[in-house]
Amino acid sequence: MNIREMKIALTVDLINLPGSPSAINSVQNTMNRYHAEAGSFVGYTEVGGTFYGNGLEGKSVALHYENLTLDLDLVTNAHSSEQFIKGFNLKENYA
CATH of the domain at 24: 3.10.450
Number of domains in the chain: 1
pLDDT digits (tens, 9 = 90+) for 33-85: 899 999 999 999 998 888 898 999 999 999 999 999 999 999 999 888 888 88
Strand order in the sheet with 41-53: 41-53, 56-65, 68-77, 83-92
> pTM to 2 decimals?
0.86
The domain in which residue 70 lies consists of: 3-92
